[in-house]
Structure 1
């Protein structure tokens, strides 16, 4: 493993260098009707590449959640009553600000998440796109005229839910927060956002600053970094109408159970064990490039990561040879030291889990063809071959830079292996025959299907979500947003009231 890590420590709290994201604004604080001290204590934010403290923020406890949710509910009706083009203007200004402040935001994404520079740039670009898409949603048609009896007007209209809680993860903290925050606001809701406590700035306070400067009225957006206590409080609070959660399947089950018990709408976007199927008519060089990107991008810490690379037997050895060569050439290290391909994993616990899956799978009979080593939180790009169902690397979501390769004989076996397990998020198929790829794709139980592409794909205009253990059937982004963040109200109108028989 080529490890690059020689950067001297540099703080990110220099207000002269970064006035928009000055550490002094949020130190030991939350964003809830302004920057306020927290009642739940404080959190230290650790840079995974160095182990150093980046900043310190407030930790939201149950009292903080209750106060924020009540304030959001009080503020929401006036926002919903505002003209749609006025709400749209706020979101468009926030999107423009995000593009303008990308240079200040990128270092926070890199240092909080271990992201390489290119991934941070894409995240910022996509985040601005999600806000612009949400802004357009504010002025879309909001309902339908329904058939009715003579003398009566019947209509169905989309109306806000009230207060939406957003719980977001560490891996793409800005995108996975703002893709829910922005459309929820556009639809006329207020929002309480709980970013992952490891990424409170790029996943939360950056968004607070954007909407603060964009002119969002007070009380409509609250940012409460916190742990499971805060998440549980959001799921139970009577002022919260909906919980939109992105994260692990295990945590999502708890969120769904608690929120549904309190009769809230719940949207769960969870994990994946996404198959990338390489058919024997594919170009091996192109297929290996897709497999490497899909398996190792952002250290494999993406729900859409190519978790199983299924290769037809005739192409198997050629693809493995190319993957192993790529693994040996990709530099790993601190993303702020220079141009590296992979940064650190998010935590020691995650590194230990990744390594345990690799070692257990090898012990079960798989072959370690590349990688399987680490320094600090830097895990080398890894290739496992001969992986079969029943081995941990085949069955479990790894969330690390591990390419799991399994061979198959024909298209029927490929479909069986791809569908094995409870997940159903994304799939990719690499082939020189689009018709063959489409036919195989129709047999896969996934929410996203990509013919001649790898599995890591998302965008502001496309409905995102999975099946089974990958989610509860909800979708987010593009045409799904109006369904997700509003509810139907049926209204009938007669010119005058008329008597009934009683």
Structure 2
């Protein structure tokens, strides 16, 4: 079986249904664990975005007119194609993004679920009848595709976080211009282009070009782009929202988090520390849902800190492509330097370093910080690294107040022996997602995923939510015969 990414047809190029040269030049993609060059990808600039959006717009009308079962069939074929090539995609995730094998396999499984859920959308009801307000007039509301959707996807879960927008947007009759992050442009862009190419998607409907600020800005300004879907940091999300807003485009923002894992006094502390370690250290803490604040009631705080520190010390760090490890490298020097800064400043402010706090190249030891208070950087900032800051509170009421003491609102988790108590506490948390007796890192293709506050603008990913994101309502009335009016 020929691989998705074998050969060099895509090297140094961008995709418009075929692999073509760009005017934006090329970039090297390197392996974070070793620094080795993995590939050369094509870069898009504003001129490439203009061409891509125009071609996508020209192709979209015919695609929207295709009957639902035909669009669904292509999404199903993409899911089956991914099943055939899943090991290859997983290997690229390991090498290009620093994923450990388990995380890579999990990401591909989630992406496949997104494809299957998207495949169900085109054959669902797409509107409803409305009551007639006048005799002889039929009235209906129906959902229509937006046109061309621009998607800006990140480097941390590059395959999944692109697919979860690309698949439903296409399924609902839109065309797509995808701009993956340059650091993971192969698995986050090239592999997706190849996947849909092999599945038989008509030419022009999916355009893929990697790049940084210039093509991102162009997506927000191009008149052929009806909507921009952005996943990434809150700071860049503000810029995307501002640029798209000036052009009256719909914007979907899934941004950063500063998520709380709350451990109540009746929790099983050993189990809670397991959830805490998983929430803090999976994929080196480079996940928007990472537990960045561990808020623990004081009666169990010492035990929780001890257990979490032991778990952190036992986790092995190294090259996930060459050895069995729990944590791989961080994505780049800038990222690990920021983690170092936050940890060092927090310790200088009076926190206790209970585990970790050391780096080697782009590898950072899983870290536990005790005695973290609300004034310290580790409490206020999204670290995006393998750091578990622990804040001790008197009781449940203070835990709620401390958890809500942030402008972010993506996800929270609560550990307690009483699900009823946890559910009642969940009602008081200002987040888009809450998990009771679980960890913070959960994702289902059919669940409404998104945050509040500075974690998002109210948009949601997920099968049914996709109708709200990638279509718009049209009110349609008709009469069997035209009528005259008083004028």
Shorter-normalised TM range = over 0.9
Give the equivalent residue in structure 2 for 1:34.
Answer: 18
Give the equivalent residue in structure 1 for 2:142.
Answer: 157
Matches within 5 A, 1:263-342: 263-342=248-327
Give the equivalent residue in structure 2 for 1:437.
Answer: 422
Q: Which runs of 4+ in 1 moved over 4 A?
A: none
Give the equivalent residue in structure 1 for 2:450.
Answer: 465
In the alignment, the residues of structure 1 paired with residue 128 and residue 345 of structure 2 have an alpha-carbon distance, to the nearest angstrom, of 56
In the alignment, the residues of structure 1 paired with residue 3 and residue 381 of structure 2 have an alpha-carbon distance, to the nearest angstrom, of 43
**Offset at residue 46 of structure 1 (A):** 1.1
In the alignment, the residues of structure 2 paired with residue 338 and residue 83 of structure 1 have an alpha-carbon distance, to the nearest angstrom, of 49
In the alignment, the residues of structure 1 paired with residue 237 and residue 357 of structure 2 have an alpha-carbon distance, to the nearest angstrom, of 29
Change in Cα spacing, 1:458 to 1:19, as seen in structure 2 (3 Å) is closer
Does structure 2 conserve the Cα–Cα contact (< 8 Å) formed by 1:87 and 1:186? Answer: yes
**Offset at residue 219 of structure 1 (A):** 0.2
Does structure 1 conserve the Cα–Cα contact (< 8 Å) formed by 2:17 and 2:197? Answer: no
Worse-matched range after superposition: 114-123 or 319-328: 319-328
Give the equivalent residue in structure 1 for 2:29.
Answer: 45
Task: Give the 3-state SS of the residue equivalent to 2:483 in structure 1.
Answer: coil
Which of 74, 84, 104 is the equivalent residue of 1:90? 74
Which of 385, 390, 403 is the equivalent residue of 2:375? 390
Does structure 2 conserve the Cα–Cα contact (< 8 Å) formed by 1:18 and 1:104? Answer: no
In the alignment, the residues of structure 1 paired with residue 82 and residue 186 of structure 2 have an alpha-carbon distance, to the nearest angstrom, of 14
In the alignment, the residues of structure 1 paired with residue 342 and residue 304 of structure 2 have an alpha-carbon distance, to the nearest angstrom, of 23
User: Which whole-Å deviations, capped at 9, do the CAs of 1:310-349 have from their partners, x for residues lacking one?
Assistant: 1111110101101111111100000011210000000000
Change in Cα spacing, 1:18 to 1:396, as seen in structure 2 (3 Å) is farther
In the alignment, the residues of structure 2 paired with residue 495 and residue 442 of structure 1 have an alpha-carbon distance, to the nearest angstrom, of 51
Give the equivalent residue in structure 2 for 1:79.
Answer: 63
**Offset at residue 103 of structure 1 (A):** 1.2
**Offset at residue 390 of structure 1 (A):** 1.3
Which of 134, 141, 144 is the equivalent residue of 2:118? 134
Task: Give the 3-state SS of the residue equivalent to 1:458 in structure 2.
Answer: coil
Matches within 5 A, 1:60-71: 60-71=44-55
In the alignment, the residues of structure 1 paired with residue 28 and residue 240 of structure 2 have an alpha-carbon distance, to the nearest angstrom, of 25
**Offset at residue 25 of structure 1 (A):** 2.0
Which of 97, 104, 108 is the equivalent residue of 1:120? 104
The answer as to 2:213 corresponding to 1:228 is: yes
**Offset at residue 18 of structure 1 (A):** 5.9
Give the equivalent residue in structure 2 for 1:56.
Answer: 40
Give the equivalent residue in structure 1 for 2:83.
Answer: 99
User: Which whole-Å deviations, capped at 9, do the CAs of 1:151-171 have from their partners, x for residues lacking one?
Assistant: 211110000000000100000
Give the equivalent residue in structure 2 for 1:211.
Answer: 196
In the alignment, the residues of structure 2 paired with residue 337 and residue 281 of structure 1 have an alpha-carbon distance, to the nearest angstrom, of 42
In the alignment, the residues of structure 2 paired with residue 410 and residue 23 of structure 1 have an alpha-carbon distance, to the nearest angstrom, of 60
Change in Cα spacing, 1:332 to 1:354, as seen in structure 2 (3 Å) is same
**Offset at residue 20 of structure 1 (A):** 2.1
Which of 197, 202, 209 is the equivalent residue of 2:187? 202
Task: Give the 3-state SS of the residue equivalent to 1:360 in structure 2.
Answer: helix
Change in Cα spacing, 1:43 to 1:18, as seen in structure 2 (3 Å) is farther
Unpaired runs of 5+ in structure 2?
none
In the alignment, the residues of structure 1 paired with residue 53 and residue 299 of structure 2 have an alpha-carbon distance, to the nearest angstrom, of 58
Does structure 1 conserve the Cα–Cα contact (< 8 Å) formed by 2:3 and 2:85? Answer: no
Task: Give the 3-state SS of the residue equivalent to 2:182 in structure 1.
Answer: coil
Task: Give the 3-state SS of the residue equivalent to 2:123 in structure 1.
Answer: coil
Which of 218, 222, 225 is the equivalent residue of 1:237? 222
Does structure 1 conserve the Cα–Cα contact (< 8 Å) formed by 2:168 and 2:463? Answer: no
**Offset at residue 353 of structure 1 (A):** 0.3
**Offset at residue 459 of structure 1 (A):** 1.3
In the alignment, the residues of structure 2 paired with residue 468 and residue 19 of structure 1 have an alpha-carbon distance, to the nearest angstrom, of 42
In the alignment, the residues of structure 1 paired with residue 463 and residue 380 of structure 2 have an alpha-carbon distance, to the nearest angstrom, of 31
In the alignment, the residues of structure 2 paired with residue 105 and residue 458 of structure 1 have an alpha-carbon distance, to the nearest angstrom, of 19
What is the RMSD computed on CA atoms of the aligned residues?
Answer: 0.9
In the alignment, the residues of structure 2 paired with residue 344 and residue 51 of structure 1 have an alpha-carbon distance, to the nearest angstrom, of 11
Which of 229, 251, 257 is the equivalent residue of 2:236? 251
Change in Cα spacing, 1:382 to 1:23, as seen in structure 2 (3 Å) is farther
In the alignment, the residues of structure 2 paired with residue 126 and residue 23 of structure 1 have an alpha-carbon distance, to the nearest angstrom, of 27
Does structure 1 conserve the Cα–Cα contact (< 8 Å) formed by 2:17 and 2:202? Answer: no
In the alignment, the residues of structure 2 paired with residue 198 and residue 340 of structure 1 have an alpha-carbon distance, to the nearest angstrom, of 22
Task: Give the 3-state SS of the residue equivalent to 2:106 in structure 1.
Answer: helix
The answer as to 2:132 corresponding to 1:148 is: yes
Unpaired runs of 5+ in structure 1?
1-16
Which of 471, 477, 483 is the equivalent residue of 1:492? 477
Does structure 2 conserve the Cα–Cα contact (< 8 Å) formed by 1:23 and 1:55? Answer: no
Give the equivalent residue in structure 2 for 1:6.
Answer: none
